[in-house]
């Protein structure tokens, strides 16, 4: 089973991934984990134990709002929706991330 | 800010949010199970939920609640222990709360007046001189010219004769704006009012204080509008001051409030409104204009004082300044008060120390019976931190209960104290937020002191119960030792004050104060009055001599003390016959004489301070040593030391000058009798009043004043003895407990030793040996601390030698005896053990 132990995935990185998958529309918790799993070509596995603390933090920060909706299996479930603040946060983090990876790549190329 | 708000919202809706999260995670799990071809590991659902909730940042509240619930259950399971612990600690905290309560009431709490923070008290100060009050003409000048002040309030105290009343009653003369400025116009009837009562030809009016209205008039509202006679002058009662009206923290509540401008009507010949000499002085307060600092007001007033000096140079000192102090409080802390305050603080903290070490011992003893529980919890995987936290939570619970009980105890003590000293009704001992915060703080500190150490010790891998017990014993002995020694010193000081001679014969002297200056007497008029009164007093049967002085002994009058020397010099103006009347022995030289100007008589103590080892007669000294042009005095006579001004100053550095014109109207007549001075008091009053019917002379016994003075020490000594006594009681209980516990721990060992044929005395000696060292160390430390504290005491009390052997030996002996008894009692119990029974039981 190819799963990244949660300890290796930083809480900050997980938050960024969550914000990123929420950009295309509201999702519930399970769907968020699924989407990350699929989009990462099944490399990243997000477990409950790390997903929900991250979601709570995002809610507290005001980067996403939660509302009750009906799931595809016809159950009441909470959907997370990106807020304007969350969008801004995502932009900032992506920019930071790009700069960092560019810098690392540059070092790797030349050193 | 949004995030903080959301967190709080989560806290408030915790139940609901928790439920939602649980549902959500359950859904997640179902979906995962349905989708997962492979069976995935799910963690403990509750643990996962808690992990997620941790992001909200409130889990500590849940844990705390859990700890508290557990702590309450534990304490309820042993109610005896809980009660004992709370009682012991409540005494320790209560003593502190009561002491802080006094400080709070006098210094921190504003008086119940409107806007206390913009009120300032104003006083005069110049190099070498200080006066607590100001002449009325100057006050008017300030009122008319000061721009930093929005109002000027003045008041002055007098005792007057009230119809059908044998004693003089206290009357406060105040400016018309007094009640309005202090926000106290809402009594019964109306208050004194500037517009109505200060204009020319206004009808004479008086207001009653609430207490006097209750006591003398039985709270009868019909008194408003009636006519009373003060000093035989009729006046209309216009109203009653509100119950909680404090005036401006005046020492004792007056019976009457009267407009200051009407004083000349009530006090015949009074020149208070025009007098600029030191005799006609009035207390001055002011209200600062909005945004003006006291410093700015001081500057403006000092500038105005310079203008005044140009107008009337005689009434203003050279380089005089006006200094301000907070006026909306009963008392401000002066530098002189610091030693006394620190001493009391140290003493009450020592009692807390004894209570804490006592409780520490209790907890430690109990901890061993809890050792089983603690080891189970360790075995179940609890961390040491977690267990310490739990134990400490219990201590905090105990401390919280004790703080509440201590606050109650402190309140009861203060209330009893205020009732005993007959305090004004507006003095409210009820604990306010400051007292509550203080009690909480003391409780917290106490919990750390008595709770944390035993908690750490109980959970330590290597247990050293003996060491902890020894430290506790030492702390208790040391703290009790200090308390006992200080109590002993205070009691000795009282003995000294009561038994030793203050330097004069206070038992046979009567003081007749005609208050001539207040009635506007000139020097010549005063002289003829005093001559007639003295002559008539001499003819009273039993009178052996009559004398005059400007400063009534122990009268708490304005004392002019010279500064610039290492010591203060108490100055008074006297006439020949003063020393004889007071019974102060002349040691060398001559008495004061008519015609003396710079020739003075001084006390022996002054000569010893000024010219140690030299013959003082003929010596000269300057009024201000730093200023060579200042007045120079010549010593013509030396008299024995007499503490007539300040009983508190062990060095009676007094200087006596012949009376002059300025001092004559301030003279007080002293009468020395053969028998009891009480017997001639009425006759003396009749003589003093008979010469001028407009005077209402105050006649009192010098012994009363002396006992009042000593009474302060007596109160201090009583409180100190009580504190020392309670400390000893606490220490005794604690020691007995600790030793008994130590012996009970070793019951088996004792039994084995006895079974093997050891001598009983040897076994006991071995048991007790571990406490000999700590007790000795505690006694040494305590004696050392007390020696340091007695330096402080010396500054406050008279006659206390720093190292009074009796106090030290007494305290050390008593504590050693208590420690020995505390040890012997449980030891004897241990000896009655039947070794076989103990061993079989094991």
Contact B28 A61 (CB under 8 A): no
* Mutation site, A48, A57, A67, A84, interface B, largest B CB count within 10 A: A48
Pairing type for strands B149-160 and B169-174 reads antiparallel
Shortest CB distance from A53 goes to which of B42, B43, B55? B55
Which residues have a Cβ under 8 Å from the Cβ of B714 and sit 6 or more positions away?
B494
Task: List phi, psi (to 5°) of B548.
Answer: -125, 145
Residue B817 has pLDDT above 50, yes or no: yes
Residues of chain A neighbouring B31 (CB-CB closer than 8 A): 30, 73
CA atoms within 13 A on the CB side of B436: 4
User: What is the band of B226 on the pLDDT scale with cuts at 50, 70, 90?
Assistant: very high
Contact A77 B24 (CB under 8 A): yes
pLDDT confidence tier of residue B471, bands split at 50, 70 and 90: confident
pTM of this structure? 0.71
Instruction: Count how many pairs of residues, chain A against chain B, have C-beta atoms within 8 Å.
Output: 64
Tokens of A66: 């939660």
pLDDT the model gives residue B643 = 80
Give per-residue pLDDT as tens, B563-582. 567 677 888 899 999 999 99
Distance from CA of B248 to the nearest CA of A (A): 54
- B32 interfacial to chain A (CB closer than 8 Å): yes
pLDDT of residue B576: 93
Nearest to B3 among A52, A61, A78 (CB): A61
Mark yes or no for CB contact A48/B29 under 8 Å: yes
Residues of B in contact with A86 (CB under 8 A): none
Contact call for residues B631 and B622 (beta carbons, < 8 A) = yes
* B89-93, B427-431, B671-675: least confidently modelled range: B427-431
Please state the rounded mean pLDDT for residues B369-393. Answer: 82
User: CA geometry: angle at B563 spanning B559 and B564, to 5°?
Assistant: 170
Is the predicted pLDDT of residue B39 greater than 80, yes or no? no
The nearest CA of chain A is from the CA of B379 a distance in Å of 27
User: Measured between CA atoms, how close is A107 to chain B, in angstroms?
Assistant: 36
Which of B24, B29, B43 is opposite residue A78, by nearest beta carbon? Answer: B24
Give the mean pLDDT of B721-745.
76
What is the tens place of the pLDDT at every residue in B40-78?
A: 555 677 777 777 787 787 878 888 888 889 889 988 888
Contact residues on chain A for B54, CB-CB shorter than 8 A: 53
CA distance A99 to chain B (A): 28
Q: In terms of Cα–Cα distance, which of B408, B409, B178, B193 is closest to B285?
A: B178
Q: Cβ contact (<8 Å) for A60 and B56?
A: yes
Structure-derived torsion over alpha carbons of residues B522, B523, B528, B532, reported in degrees to the nearest 10? 100
Residues 6+ apart with CB under 8 A from B542: B673, B674, B675, B679, B680
Instruction: Tell which B residues from 42 to 71 touch A, by Cβ distance under 8 Å.
Output: 42-43, 48-49, 51-57
Helix B805-831 × helix B465-499 angle, to 10° = 140
**C-alpha to C-alpha distance for B530 and B120, rounded to whole angstroms:** 39
CA nearest to B22 within chain A? A52
Helix (H) or strand (E) holding B120: strand B119-126
Residue B496 has pLDDT above 60, yes or no: yes
């Amino acid at each position: 089973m190819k799963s990244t132990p949660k300890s290796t995935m930083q809480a900050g990185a997980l938050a960024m991934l969550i914000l990123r998958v929420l950009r295309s529309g509201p999702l519930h918790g399970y769907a968020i984990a699924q989407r990350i799993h699929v989009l990462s070509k099944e490399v990243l596995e997000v477990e409950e134990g790390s997903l929900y603390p991250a979601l709570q933090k995002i809610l507290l920060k005001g980067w996403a709002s939660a509302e009750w909706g009906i799931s595809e299996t016809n159950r009441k479930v909470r959907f997370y929706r990106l807020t304007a603040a969350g969008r801004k946060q995502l932009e900032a983090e992506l920019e930071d991330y790009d700069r960092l990876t560019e810098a690392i790549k540059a070092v790797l190329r030349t050193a | 800010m949004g995030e903080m708000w959301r967190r709080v919202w989560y806290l408030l809706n915790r139940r609901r949010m928790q439920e939602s999260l649980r549902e959500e995670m359950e859904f997640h799990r179902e979906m995962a199970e349905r989708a997962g071809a492979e069976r995935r590991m799910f963690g403990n659902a509750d643990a996962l939920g808690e992990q997620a909730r941790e992001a909200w940042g409130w889990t500590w509240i849940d844990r705390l609640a859990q700890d508290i619930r557990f702590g309450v259950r534990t304490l309820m399971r042993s109610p005896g222990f809980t009660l004992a612990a709370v009682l012991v600690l409540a005494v320790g905290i209560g003593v502190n709360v009561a002491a802080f309560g006094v400080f709070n009431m006098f210094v921190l709490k504003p008086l119940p007046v409107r806007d206390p923070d913009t009120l300032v008290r104003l006083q005069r100060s110049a190099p070498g001189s200080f006066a607590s009050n100001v002449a009325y003409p100057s006050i008017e000048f300030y009122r008319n010219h000061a721009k930093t002040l929005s109002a000027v309030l003045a008041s002055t105290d007098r005792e007057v004769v009230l119809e059908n009343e044998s004693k003089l009653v206290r009357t406060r003369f105040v400016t018309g704006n007094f009640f309005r400025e202090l926000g106290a116009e809402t009594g019964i009837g109306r208050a004194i009012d500037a517009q109505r009562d200060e204009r020319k030809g206004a009808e004479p009016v008086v207001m009653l204080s609430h207490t006097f209205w209750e006591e003398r008039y039985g709270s009868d509202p019909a008194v408003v509008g009636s006519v009373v006679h003060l000093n035989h002058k009729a006046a209309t009662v216009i109203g009653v001051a509100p119950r909680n009206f404090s005036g401006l923290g005046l020492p004792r509540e007056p019976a009457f409030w009267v407009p200051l401008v009407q004083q000349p009507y009530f006090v015949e010949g009074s020149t208070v409104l025009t007098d600029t000499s030191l005799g006609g002085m009035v207390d001055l307060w002011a209200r600062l204009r909005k945004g003006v600092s006291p410093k700015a007001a001081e500057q403006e007033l000092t500038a105005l004082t310079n203008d005044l000096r140009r107008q009337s140079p005689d009434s203003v000192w050279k380089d005089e300044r006006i200094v301000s102090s907070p006026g909306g409080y009963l008392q401000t802390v002066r530098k002189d008060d610091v030693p006394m305050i620190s001493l009391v603080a140290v003493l009450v903290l020592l009692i807390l120390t004894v209570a804490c070490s006592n409780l520490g011992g209790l907890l430690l003893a109990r901890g061993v019976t809890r050792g089983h529980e603690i080891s189970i919890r360790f075995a179940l995987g609890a961390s040491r931190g977690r267990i310490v936290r739990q134990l400490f939570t219990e201590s905090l619970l105990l401390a919280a209960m004790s703080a509440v009980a201590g606050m109650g105890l402190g309140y009861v003590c203060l209330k009893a104290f205020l009732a005993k000293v007959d305090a004004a009704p507006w003095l409210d001992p009820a604990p306010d937020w400051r007292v509550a915060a203080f009690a909480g703080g003391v409780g917290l500190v106490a919990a750390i002191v008595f709770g944390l150490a035993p908690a750490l010790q109980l959970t330590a891998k290597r247990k050293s119960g003996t060491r902890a017990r020894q430290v506790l014993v030492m702390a208790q002995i040391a703290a009790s030792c200090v308390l006992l020694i200080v109590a002993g010193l205070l009691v000795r000081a009282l003995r000294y004050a009561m038994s030793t001679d203050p330097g004069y014969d206070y038992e046979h002297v009567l003081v007749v104060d005609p208050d001539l200056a207040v009635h506007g007497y000139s020097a010549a008029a005063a002289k003829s009055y005093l001559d007639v009164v003295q002559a008539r007093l001499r003819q009273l049967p039993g009178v052996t001599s009559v004398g005059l002085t400007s400063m009534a002994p122990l009268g708490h009058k304005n004392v002019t003390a010279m500064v610039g020397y290492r010591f203060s010099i108490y100055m008074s103006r006297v006439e020949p016959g003063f020393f004889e009347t007071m019974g102060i022995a002349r040691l060398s030289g001559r008495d004061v004489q008519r015609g003396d100007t710079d020739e003075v008589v001084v006390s022996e103590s002054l000569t010893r301070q000024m010219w140690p080892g030299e013959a003082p007669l003929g010596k000269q000294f300057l009024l201000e040593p730093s200023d060579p042009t200042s007045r120079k005095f010549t010593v013509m006579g030396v008299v024995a030391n007499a503490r007539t001004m300040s009983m508190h100053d062990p060095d009676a550095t007094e200087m006596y000058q012949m009376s002059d014109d300025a001092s004559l109207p301030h003279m007080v007549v002293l009468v020395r009798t053969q028998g009891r001075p009480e017997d001639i008091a009425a006759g003396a009053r009749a003589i003093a009043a008979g010469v001028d019917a407009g005077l209402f002379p105050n006649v009192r016994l010098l012994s009363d004043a002396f006992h009042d003075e000593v009474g302060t020490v007596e109160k201090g000594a009583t409180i100190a003895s009580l504190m020392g006594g309670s400390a000893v009681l606490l220490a005794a209980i604690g020691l007995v407990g600790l030793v008994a516990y130590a012996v009970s721990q070793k019951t088996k060992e004792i039994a084995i030793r006895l079974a093997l044929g050891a001598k009983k005395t040897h076994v006991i000696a071995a048991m007790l040996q571990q406490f000999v060292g700590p007790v000795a160390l505690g006694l040494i430390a305590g004696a050392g601390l007390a020696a340091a504290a007695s330096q402080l005491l010396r500054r406050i009390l008279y006659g206390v030698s720093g190292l009074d052997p009796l106090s030290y030996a007494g305290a050390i002996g008593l504590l050693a005896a208590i420690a020995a008894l505390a040890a012997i009692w449980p030891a004897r119990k241990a000896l009655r053990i039947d070794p076989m029974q103990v061993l079989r039981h094991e």
